[in-house]
Amino acid sequence: MESNKKMDSLAGINKQRVILVTYLIAAMDITWLFLQFSITPYLAKRLGFDTLWFGYLQTTVGIIQLLGGPIFGRFADLFGARAALSVSCMASVVYFVLLAMADSTAMLFIHKLPAVFMHVLPGTQMVVADLTEPEKRADALAKLGLCFGIGMITGSTLGGTLSTRYGEGYAACTAVVGSFISLLLVLKFIPKHTKAQSAQDQNNKNRSIFNLGDITRLMKYPGVAKTFIVKITSGLPSGIFQVMFSVIAINFFQLQPEQNGYLMAYFGVMQMVMQGAVIGRMTARYSEKTLLLLSVGVSSLVGLAQALMANVFQFSLIVIPMMFSLSMFNVITDSMLTKSIPSSDTGTMMGLCASVQSLMRTVGPTIGGLLYENYGVSSFGYIQCAVNAAVFLFLFKDRRTQRVITRK
């Protein structure tokens, strides 16, 4: 009996260590991602890209990751967290090596190809979801979002500073080294499998990564399809704004690379505050459906404020509710979706969630470029306001209908 208690205690310690290392890997990956975000627009501009061609570049990334996301999730479920994260980290190394070499339009497009395997964030989300209890999952995913804020601050500041002082190639080489360190951490600390063995054995009966039926069947579980529709519909307008923000920062706010880095770092601070001090407490006190309704409502008001803003100071005030709504929305929808499916499919679900973001990056640049060129920055805000107001009314009506059914 005493021996079993010791084993359980050791398992708990090891599990906690794996989660902490997973948070570190996520923070490092986001750091290099935002370092790339802070240098690519200026590199593209130097190579002769206009707003429309930069949109095509972003669309290319979105398509590549849209195709890779569900397959990566399926791969993670079948072959384990270590294999999946190792592939992603190695792809990141190649990605940044090619970015450091990019000296032409063709090379800037070619360096995006390894992004088909770059899914470190959904991989870390799968690990956290596998190793936490359902009632604690939203809080654990929120802490993963805290790592996102840390990476956003570090990467944006580092990218702006390095590219200004030493050039874009030097900044990309820094990301190469960092991605290789992440790979070593994965190989050293992440276990081969993070799922319960029974769930893993059941999932390995059909070992086909490209079985689309096994991927799409998750939509048949109760509530999954509806949550996915809300995730796509509500997230698309804000996703378009995020994709186009680098262009807005350069052309509308007239920011230099270092100033843009500081603004992105401010985003990260706000994200850390929301993820670390607000969301965890709110998930413990209120139901997920209530918080989903709140995040969509706040997003609608944020869109209206964005439509009326005139300068970067006003935008810096809007960032506070914007980061609250984005952080809350992503954490709650991911938590709801992983709770609605068997534990053997959390990787596939996280891959599908990542594909939602990739879908936004696919259609976002083209739509965003057309809106920006024809209607200006305010159009992003008005669309976000209208779409999220409609989603809010849908969720509110659906919730009232469910309450009536429950009472009857």
pLDDT confidence tier of residue 408, bands split at 50, 70 and 90: low
- Using a 10 angstrom Cβ sphere, with 0-12 exposed, 13-18 middle and 19 or more buried, the burial of residue 289 is middle
Name the residue among 357, 370, 380, 377 with its Cα closest to residue 61.
Answer: 357
Per-residue pLDDT band for 242 (boundaries 50, 70, 90) equals confident
| DSSP at 191 | -
d(CA 392, CA 389): 5
pLDDT tens digits for 265-280? Answer: 788 788 778 877 788 7
CA distance 89 to 397: 44
CA 223 – CA 173 distance, rounded (Å): 44
Average of pLDDT values for 299-311? 91
What percentage of the chain's residues is helix, strand, coil (to nearest 5)?
90, 0, 10
86-138 tens-digit pLDDT: 999 999 999 999 988 888 888 888 888 888 888 888 888 888 888 888 777 77
Cβ atoms of 84 and 124 closer than 8 Å: no
Percent of the chain topping pLDDT 70:
89
CA–CA dist 264, 246 (Å, integer) = 10
The CATH superfamily label for domain 2-191+215-407 reads MFS general substrate transporter like domains (1.20.1250.20)
In the chain, what are the domain boundaries? 2-191+215-407
Residue 19 token pair: 């989660």
List, in order, residues 6 or more apart from 27 with CB less than 8 Å away.
147, 148, 150, 151, 154
Q: Is the pLDDT of residue 198 over 90?
A: no
Of the segments 47-51, 68-72, 183-187, 202-206, which one has the largest average pLDDT value?
A: 183-187
Q: What is the pTM of this model?
A: 0.72
What integer pLDDT is reported at residue 219 of this predicted model?
80
- Please provide the average confidence, as pLDDT, over all residues in the chain: 81
Half-sphere CA count of 398, side-chain side, radius 13 A: 14
> Which pLDDT tens digit goes with each residue over 28-58?
999 998 888 778 877 877 777 776 677 677 7
Distance CA 195, CA 346 (A): 9
Q: Note the pLDDT of residue 1.
A: 43
